[in-house]
């Protein structure tokens, strides 16, 4: 097996044994399930790029070099073909869509396999092993050894080529064996999961490969706060066409979240019928029956027969969102009854509608609260519920899918209250900003205070800003661990199986060790590049055989491990509080973890400083 990151930079040797360059990239043909490497790109003297046919010139490849079968003078260079892509340039460190897992991931490495002197691409490594291997193979081996000490092994997270869709470059001229057509073959909910992980430019590339109906279904499955952003990013005509394909209630929700000028432009581009339906829904308040209903309702009159109703459905009424119920009205349009689709099918064709209509109706008004509407539908097992005005005229209906969305929203709000993600105040105001950005304000205050002290006492400037660097790392780490901890609390409240505490500690301890190692190495490298040792810091660490940069890295690594494990234990306590109906605010959990991280950091450094006898 070969990995691209290990191949790059290896020598390219001709048949005489002369080194003529180093591997810069390899090209694959995209028309196969497991594509073969077709070309070798290498850098010759003076960093001049060259490309050779792999099949024609490569004799063998091993861990040390690529050996060619011809001397340098007999080589004939080639060019990248339309159906070829370069692995390092076009795939490595790029985002791809995992169409099996329905998620967007980043390619950290690429795995290849040799067979009969052919090198074939097996897939993309998107896990931690690829990251560590890209930094240095020794880091991957060390992390794997640490994992084995805990009875685990770092998994290789590989996505096979036939489950990959590329997003980061224009592939209009590349005929992939598995192209974006895989995306529009997915269920709309799965496409929505992918879209939610992409930026605006990448979402636009996906929409280029979806027709209006597919795009409308995918947008309907997006989170509410993202739907308007997606429509706003599209061209006016395309956005208007997609909204026409959507159910009027869904389209009205999106139009209502757009800026006024954009909304009016899209409505003017729509058909008269669709625009009128959407405008009628925009007049109702949010979180009411009118705000979630659809005006597309199938109605018939008392005088019609079963046969006439069926013909009416065939003529076009069947295109309405739901025909599980057909509503009966009198000559004035007042709702008088309802027919189920089952009763319609089993009744003789000449049966009058008035004989099979159910007269006991459940109805709601347009201003009724949406949660009460959803509860009524759940209580009476209704697939749809008619919305009528004060005179009894039918305005629309709330369908079961809309009711389910309402119940999910209300359940999510209850969980946010239980876990402290949402305060009892209006979270859309100042408190929401503070809860999301409070640590940014704290960090700003610390920075300004440190700058003032450094200005007054210049000899303390370097130690102060070293402290700020450490504080920034610990604060950021604590905030991320707190967010992860409370997300587990939400999962526990939704009925998901809870992992035993011992196993959590092992898994999180492993993750914390790897993270701490990465933070420690990075901190050491940053301080080394910074250069020099402040006099006060040198005095503190003068008795140590290790440089202060190493001690700071070790202390930060230990702090990361301790904060991670502490977050696990705090999460267990927060779950118990949530079961008792008590909240665990994220700000409070973050503050506790910051204190723990600072204590752990100084617990490592204090013995070193004390041994140095600076204060003796």
Q: What is the pLDDT of residues 437-477, one digit of tens each?
A: 555 556 566 656 655 665 565 555 566 666 777 777 888 78
Task: Give per-residue pLDDT as tens, 291-346.
Answer: 888 888 888 898 899 999 888 888 765 556 567 788 999 888 889 999 988 888 88
Winning range, highest mean pLDDT, from 109-118, 175-184, 369-378, 566-575: 369-378
430-611 CATH pick, 1.10.357.20, 3.30.540.10, 1.20.1090.10, 3.30.70.260: 1.10.357.20
Average pLDDT over residues 164-175: 43
In this structure, what token pair is assigned to residue 418?
């239980």
Phi and psi for 29 in degrees, rounded to 5?
-90, 140
What pLDDT does residue 387 have? 92
At 297 the three-state DSSP class reads: coil
**pLDDT of 417 above 60:** no
Rounded mean pLDDT, 588-608: 85
Which tens digit of pLDDT belongs to each residue from 358-372? 888 899 999 999 989
Fold of 299-403: CBS-domain (3.10.580)
Q: What is the Cα–Cα distance from 382 to 367, expressed in whole angstroms?
A: 19
Considering only residues 207 and 361, tell me which one the structure prediction assigns the higher pLDDT: 361
Q: Mean pLDDT, to the nearest integer, of 467-491? A: 76
- What pLDDT was estimated at residue 178? 33
Q: What is the Cα–Cα distance from 422 to 416, expressed in whole angstroms?
A: 5
CATH code that applies to domain 181-283: 1.25.60.10
Least confident piece of the model among 365-369, 425-429, 480-484, 548-552: 425-429
Give the number of other CB atoms < 10 A from CB of residue 293. 28
Return the higher-pLDDT residue of 582 and 222.
Answer: 222
Q: Which residue has better confidence, 319 or 274?
A: 274
**Considering the entire predicted model, what is its pTM?**
0.47
Residue 266 has pLDDT above 80, yes or no: yes
The yes-or-no verdict on residue 275 having pLDDT over 50 is yes
Q: pLDDT above 70 covers what percent of the chain?
A: 75
pLDDT of residue 430: 43
The mean predicted confidence, pLDDT, of the chain is: 77
Residue 189's closest CA among 208, 209, 214, 226? 214
For 45-54, write each residue's pLDDT tens digit: 878 888 898 8
Whether the pLDDT of residue 614 is over 50: the answer is no
Percent of the chain with pLDDT over 90: 7
pLDDT of residue 616: 41
The region that residue 556 occupies, defined by phi over 0 for left and psi between -120 and 50 for alpha, beta otherwise, is: alpha
Q: Quick one: which H or E segment has residue 314?
A: helix 306-314
72 compared with 585, residue with greater pLDDT = 72
CATH superfamily of 2-163: PRC-barrel domain (2.30.30.240)
| pLDDT for residue 518 is more than 80 | yes
Does the pLDDT of residue 57 top 50, yes or no?
yes
Banded pLDDT at 12 (limits 50, 70, 90): very high
Q: Pick from 613, 230, 583: which is nearest to 415 by CA? A: 583
Would you say residue 354 has pLDDT above 60? yes
Tens digits of residue pLDDT in 128-159: 787 778 777 777 777 777 777 767 777 777 77
Residue 563 CA to residue 227 CA, distance in Å, equals: 37
> What is the mean predicted confidence (pLDDT) over 505-513?
86
Distance between first and last Cα of the chain: 59
Give the pairing type, strands 325-329 and 335-340: antiparallel
Q: What is the pLDDT of residue 388?
A: 92
User: Is the pLDDT score of 179 beyond 70?
Assistant: no
Task: Indicate the domain borders of the chain.
Answer: 2-163, 181-283, 299-403, 430-611
The backbone region for 532, taken as left when phi is positive above 0, alpha when psi lies in -120 to 50, beta otherwise, is left
Q: How confident is the model at residue 11 (pLDDT cuts 50, 70, 90)?
A: very high
β-pairing, 19-29 vs 84-86, is antiparallel
Which one has a higher pLDDT value, 316 or 57?
57
């Amino acid at each position: 097996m070969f990995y691209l990151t290990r191949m790059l930079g290896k020598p390219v040797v001709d048949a005489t044994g002369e080194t003529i360059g180093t591997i810069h990239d390899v090209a694959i043909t995209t028309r196969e399930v497991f594509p073969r490497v077709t070309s070798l790109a290498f850098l010759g003297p003076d960093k001049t790029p060259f490309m050779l046919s792999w099949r024609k010139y490569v004799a063998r490849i091993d861990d040390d070099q690529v050996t060619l079968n011809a001397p340098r003078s007999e080589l004939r260079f080639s060019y990248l073909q339309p159906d070829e892509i370069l692995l390092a340039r076009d795939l490595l460190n790029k985002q791809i869509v995992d169409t099996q897992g329905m998620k967007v991931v980043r390619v950290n490495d690429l795995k290849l396999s040799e067979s009969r002197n052919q090198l074939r691409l097996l897939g993309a490594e998107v896990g931690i092993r690829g990251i560590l291997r890209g930094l240095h193979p020794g880091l991957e081996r060390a992390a794997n050894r640490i994992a084995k000490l805990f009875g685990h092994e770092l998994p290789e997270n590989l996505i096979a080529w036939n489950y990959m869709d590329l997003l980061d470059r224009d592939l209009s001229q590349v005929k992939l064996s598995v192209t974006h057509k895989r995306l529009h073959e997915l269920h709309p909910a799965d496409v929505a999961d992918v879209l939610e992980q992409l930026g605006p430019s990448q979402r636009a590339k996906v929409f280029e490969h979806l027709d209006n109906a597919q795009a409308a279904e995918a947008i309907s499955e997006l989170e509410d706060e993202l739907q308007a952003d997606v429509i706003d990013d599209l061209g006016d005509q395309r956005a208007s066409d997609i909204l026409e394909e959507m159910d009027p209630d869904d389209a009205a929700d999106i139009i209502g979240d757009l800026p006024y000028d954009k909304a009016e432009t899209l409505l003017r581009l729509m058909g008269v019928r669709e625009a009128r339906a959407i405008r009628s829904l925009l007049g109702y308040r949010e979180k009411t029956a009118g705000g979630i209903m659809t005006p597309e309702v199938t109605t018939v009159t008392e005088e019609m027969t079963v046969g006439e109703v069926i013909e009416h459905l065939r003529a076009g009424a069947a295109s309405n969102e739901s025909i599980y119920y057909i509503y009966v009205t009198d000559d004035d349009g007042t709702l008088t009854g309802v027919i189920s689709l089952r009763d319609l099918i089993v009744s003789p064709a000449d049966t009058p509608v008035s004989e099979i209509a159910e007269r006991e109706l459940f109805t709601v008004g347009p201003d009724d609260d949406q949660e009460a509407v959803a509860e009524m539908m759940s209580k009476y097992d209704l697939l749809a519920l008619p919305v009528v005005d004060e005179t009894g005229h039918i305005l629309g209906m709330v369908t079961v899918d809309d009711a389910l969305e309402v119940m999910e929203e209300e359940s999510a709000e209850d969980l946010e209250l239980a876990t402290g993600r949402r305060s009892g105040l209006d979270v859309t105001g100042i408190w929401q900003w503070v809860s999301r950005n409070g640590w940014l304000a704290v960090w700003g205050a610390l920075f300004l205070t440190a700058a003032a002290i450094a200005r007054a006492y210049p000899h303390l400037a370097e130690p102060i800003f070293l402290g700020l660097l450490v504080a920034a790392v610990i604060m950021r780490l604590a905030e991320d661990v707190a967010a992860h901890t409370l997300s587990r609390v939400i999962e526990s409240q939704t009925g998901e199986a809870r992992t035993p505490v011992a196993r959590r500690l092992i898994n999180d301890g492993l993750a914390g060790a790897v993270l701490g190692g990465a933070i420690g190495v990075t901190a050491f490298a940053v301080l080394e590049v910074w250069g020099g040792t402040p006099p006060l810091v040198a005095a503190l660490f003068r008795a140590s055989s290790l440089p202060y940069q190493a001690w700071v890295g070790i202390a930060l690594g230990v702090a990361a491990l301790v904060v991670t494990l502490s977050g696990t234990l705090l999460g267990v306590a927060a779950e118990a509080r949530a079961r008792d109906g008590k909240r665990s605010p994220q700000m409070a959990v973050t503050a506790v973890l910051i204190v723990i991280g600072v204590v752990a950091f100084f617990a490592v450094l204090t013995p070193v400083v004390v041994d140095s006898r600076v204060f003796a």
